[in-house]
Structure 1
Amino acid sequence: MSISTKQTISQTSFLENYLKVRALTNELCEPLQPEDFVVQPVVDVSPPKWHLAHTTWFFENFILKPNMADYQVFDKDYHFLFNSYYETEGDRWIRSERGVLSRPWVKEIMAYRAYVDEHMKQYLADGQVISDHILEVLTMGLNHEQQHQELLVYDLKHILGINPLFPAYKSFQSQEIQPNLEEKFLEVEEGVYTIGYQGKDFSFDNEKGVHKVFLHRYRIQDRLITNGEFMEFIEAGGYRDFNHWLMEGFEWVKKENIRAPFYWLKQDGAWKHYTLAGLEDINPNDPVSHVSFYEADAFAKWKGKRLPTEFEWEVACKMHEPEIPETANFVDERNFRPMPRQGRNTQFYGDVWEWTNSAYLAYPFYEKPEGALGEYNGKFMINTMVLKGGSYATSRNHIRPTYRNFFHPHLRWQFTGIRLAENF
């Protein structure tokens, strides 16, 4: 097969993937009303309109502008408005003020997406040979948009969930699942294990720098902690007993008056929580979600156990469930909520991201890429903790055992849960 034939097949595949990823972003916004698109209740949340524009800016700025002959930008002001954090690309609108941008209108942002999509279709379908480097940037762009799809779901839930009317994002058909909540632990023997991505498909730079780690013998729970189990922690006074908490975490609990996971409230003596289908009774069999690292760590200590390190999590996942099971709960299933465990599924994939007891740091041999895309991960390797496994807002083809997510330890609007570990 000639190089040009390989390129043509590759470009055709990229175009199909590009259109599929872009369509999902639009689909996620379909239930929203115009007023929903501009709301920014806290600095961590970006308005849905901004996500739509920024992901489009990525392809315009990194693919079309430098590579497509005679390309004309849709609007010169968008480069300033919708750059996120790329210092290499110049000045940008401040993150905390994204919600004040009532203009450009949503319909103008959708026209921007359509404009860039049309030029991307021309660029990928006109028969020219595209370099491997550009295809790599395009692949990064698709994975970047999938990350923003997940952030978009976090953000729209926050926007709707703090509304006292508790409006539903959309209604969902309920599923009757007989959960397997037997408490078992998966054993991993002492030894030296390889950490990091070693395949030939796409991975982020923070997964590279393959290296060895020594792990003592340990056990890791074969499922996620449930709402019912976390309720026991609450009722036992877990939020009031400083013995379970890191000092910084307990100060956070007192200052913010934290008494339950985010979106939880008690009505008439019963626990309820906001879901993307509106306010509902809490299903005790669902995995607990919207807990901070501090809460996850305190719960683990209350149980007499601990959180796994990211290395323990990765090794156990590769050993006990190396392939994603059909029953894993991702955005592909459109459940838009964590689901009770089915059968022997260990829940390493999907449902909720799992806090680990590992700081987000560079692996040995980590090399920062050159240019703007070198800002993607490396400069955030400070004051955050690693999470593993994906959530119900993650795309199935986006996750892998080596994937390293990261958030600050106090944050709770993202879909985060708990898995326990212990030495034995």
Structure 2
Amino acid sequence: MGIGQREDLLHAFQRVRRRSLEIAAPLSAEDCCAQSMPDASPIKWHLAHTTWFFETFILEAHEAGFAPFHPAFRVLFNSYYNGIGAKHPRPQRGLLTRPSLDEVRAYRADVDGRIARLLAIGAPIQGLVELGLQHEQQHQELMLTDLKHLLGCNPLYPAYTVQAMERGAPPPELSWIAFEGGLAEIGYGGSGFCFDNELPRHRTYLAPFELASRLVTNGEYREFVEAGGYRDPALWLAEGWDRVCAGEITHPLYRVAGEEGWQEFTLHGLQLLDPARPVTHVSLYEADAYARWRGARLPTESEWEFAARQAQLGAGALHPEAADGEGLLQMFGACWQWTASSYAPYPGYAPAAGAIGEYNGKFMVNQYVLRGSSCATPEGHARPSYRNFFPAGARWQFTGIRLAR
């Protein structure tokens, strides 16, 4: 790697690290410490854990005379890397009132300076730095989704941003785009960065299928609710129906009944539910039930990726209205889209050696794949092969619905 390339990576490193602090900037120290549920983490923990990643996987292995910023941080901010050692219990991250937010910021500054020095001398850390940056960008999306859940638990419904939220444009009429199927190449095939779960690229057979030209909207999903969709057991997977009967699922997350009708809690605070916007914060159970109600289904992840690649090659040839930014071009950006595919390894998949190999592979059980990206996804994570994954009941992420048949 030449000096110019090192400087490019250093610039990227500084930009990504700065972005995390920018996300946290409007928040109080109290905002940054609280944890709303076991699946969400405090903002302060995100800021520290992403720093822990660089310290543990890069500085510890490559810095001469390495000494940790604070020995206790090795345990406090380890997420799930059993190969590293002990971890603070995930549900108790919100109890970490110490270290303070200021000390976490000092931790970040210290590690940033040390990583910059290693890059300046040409230490062989480029691949790990890139992985660390991609990892931090994943956490930047989690920071926003976890923060939204935290603020949504507050009866004051405080807004994260004072910027006005624009109403959605009327969606184009939903149409069905036909794909002939056949043998398809699935998985990452480029020369840049990808996560190991996007590999290896492989062939799979797709039967002919059709994909909806856009996402399901709030207005369309409201029809499902008003038609009794949450009262019809024939529409629901068994585990989802159990949650409906238990009162855990009655409508998408962040819906609030108001005097003027349904409202939705957003990062902009409470807003009147916009029927034109894609429905978000639904579980796989809800997405699947809605699809059944519409006489459709959810796409498989291979179908979704095949369609996304076709859209990249020339969406206008697939859908006449695509040129105006709608239609099939809406594969990315609004919300993650549930698929019917369980999160499993591709044929020939092999995780990396050592603790870094725990990044993806060990989660390939009891999860479903989501494709696309959301309004909270950082630049660089929207590619056809990217595999997001969550349990079927997860709703606090920006998750939505695209139909297939």
- How far is the alpha carbon of 1:64 from its aligned partner? 1.3
Partners of 1:205 and 1:37 lie apart in 2 by: 31
Aligned to 1:397: 380
- How far is the alpha carbon of 1:345 from its aligned partner? 5.9
Partner SS state of residue 380, structure 2: helix
Work out whether residues 322 and 401 of structure 1, in 8 Å CA contact, stay in contact via their aligned partners in 2: no
Structure 1: unaligned runs, 5 residues or longer: 1-5, 326-340
Deviation by residue 1:102-126 (Cα, 9 ceiling, x = unmatched): 100001001111111111222212x
Following superposition of structure 1 onto structure 2, how do residues 268-287 of structure 1 map, counting pairs within 5 Å? 268=259, 270-287=261-278
Deviation by residue 1:108-158 (Cα, 9 ceiling, x = unmatched): 001111111111222212xx2332xx2111111000000000111010001
Q: Is 1:416 paired with 2:395?
A: no
Write the letter of the residue equivalent to 1:189. E
Are the structure 2 counterparts of residues 103 and 251 from structure 1 closer, same or farther at C-alpha, using a change threshold of 3 Å? same
Partner SS state of residue 116, structure 1: helix
Work out whether residues 183 and 222 of structure 1, in 8 Å CA contact, stay in contact via their aligned partners in 2: yes
Work out whether residues 389 and 400 of structure 1, in 8 Å CA contact, stay in contact via their aligned partners in 2: yes
TM-score, length-normalised on structure 2?
0.95
Are the structure 2 counterparts of residues 57 and 358 from structure 1 closer, same or farther at C-alpha, using a change threshold of 3 Å? same
Percent identical across equivalent pairs?
46
TM-score, length-normalised on structure 1?
0.91
Aligned to 2:389: 406
Aligned to 1:247: 238
Partners of 2:283 and 2:147 lie apart in 1 by: 19
- How far is the alpha carbon of 1:177 from its aligned partner? 5.2
- How far is the alpha carbon of 1:253 from its aligned partner? 1.3
Aligned to 1:333: none
Work out whether residues 180 and 342 of structure 1, in 8 Å CA contact, stay in contact via their aligned partners in 2: no
Partners of 2:108 and 2:122 lie apart in 1 by: 24
Q: Which of 241, 249, 252 does residue 261 from structure 1 map onto?
A: 252
Deviation by residue 1:138-192 (Cα, 9 ceiling, x = unmatched): 1110000000001110100011011011001011234365333211122110311
| Greater displacement, 313-322 / 341-350 | 341-350
Aligned to 1:226: 217
Partners of 2:247 and 2:4 lie apart in 1 by: 54
Q: Is 1:156 paired with 2:151?
A: no
- How far is the alpha carbon of 1:282 from its aligned partner? 0.6
- How far is the alpha carbon of 1:54 from its aligned partner? 0.2
- How far is the alpha carbon of 1:277 from its aligned partner? 0.8
Aligned to 2:48: 53
Work out whether residues 354 and 387 of structure 1, in 8 Å CA contact, stay in contact via their aligned partners in 2: yes
Partners of 2:284 and 2:150 lie apart in 1 by: 22
Structure 2: unaligned runs, 5 residues or longer: 317-323
- How far is the alpha carbon of 1:396 from its aligned partner? 2.0
Partners of 1:186 and 1:211 lie apart in 2 by: 24
Following superposition of structure 1 onto structure 2, how do residues 333-372 of structure 1 map, counting pairs within 5 Å? 342-344=325-327, 346-372=329-355
- How far is the alpha carbon of 1:344 from its aligned partner? 4.7
Deviation by residue 1:358-378 (Cα, 9 ceiling, x = unmatched): 000000010111011100000
| Greater displacement, 251-260 / 104-113 | 251-260
Work out whether residues 184 and 203 of structure 2, in 8 Å CA contact, stay in contact via their aligned partners in 1: yes
Aligned to 2:110: 115
Work out whether residues 210 and 365 of structure 1, in 8 Å CA contact, stay in contact via their aligned partners in 2: no
Aligned to 1:332: none
Q: Runs (4+) of structure 1 moved beyond 4 Å?
A: 322-325, 341-345
Aligned to 2:178: 187
Work out whether residues 179 and 342 of structure 1, in 8 Å CA contact, stay in contact via their aligned partners in 2: no
User: What RMSD in Å do the two structures reach over aligned CA positions?
Assistant: 1.7
Partners of 1:252 and 1:404 lie apart in 2 by: 26
Following superposition of structure 1 onto structure 2, how do residues 22-61 of structure 1 map, counting pairs within 5 Å? 22-61=17-56
Aligned to 2:319: none
- How far is the alpha carbon of 1:13 from its aligned partner? 1.2
Work out whether residues 315 and 328 of structure 2, in 8 Å CA contact, stay in contact via their aligned partners in 1: no
Partner SS state of residue 72, structure 1: coil
Partner SS state of residue 185, structure 2: strand
Deviation by residue 1:201-245 (Cα, 9 ceiling, x = unmatched): 111111002211111111101111100001000000000101110
Work out whether residues 180 and 344 of structure 1, in 8 Å CA contact, stay in contact via their aligned partners in 2: no
Write the letter of the residue equivalent to 2:203. K
Partner SS state of residue 123, structure 1: helix
- How far is the alpha carbon of 1:41 from its aligned partner? 1.7
Q: Is 1:62 paired with 2:61?
A: no
Following superposition of structure 1 onto structure 2, how do residues 248-327 of structure 1 map, counting pairs within 5 Å? 248-268=239-259, 270-322=261-313
Aligned length: 398
- How far is the alpha carbon of 1:398 from its aligned partner? 2.0
Partner SS state of residue 83, structure 2: helix
Partners of 1:106 and 1:322 lie apart in 2 by: 46
Partners of 2:243 and 2:194 lie apart in 1 by: 35
Write the letter of the residue equivalent to 2:15. K
Deviation by residue 1:341-360 (Cα, 9 ceiling, x = unmatched): 95456311111000000000
Partners of 1:379 and 1:54 lie apart in 2 by: 19
Write the letter of the residue equivalent to 1:283. D
Are the structure 2 counterparts of residues 176 and 292 from structure 1 closer, same or farther at C-alpha, using a change threshold of 3 Å? closer
Work out whether residues 228 and 284 of structure 1, in 8 Å CA contact, stay in contact via their aligned partners in 2: yes
| Greater displacement, 240-249 / 345-354 | 345-354
- How far is the alpha carbon of 1:12 from its aligned partner? 1.1
Q: Is 1:210 paired with 2:201?
A: yes
Work out whether residues 372 and 383 of structure 2, in 8 Å CA contact, stay in contact via their aligned partners in 1: yes
- How far is the alpha carbon of 1:399 from its aligned partner? 2.2
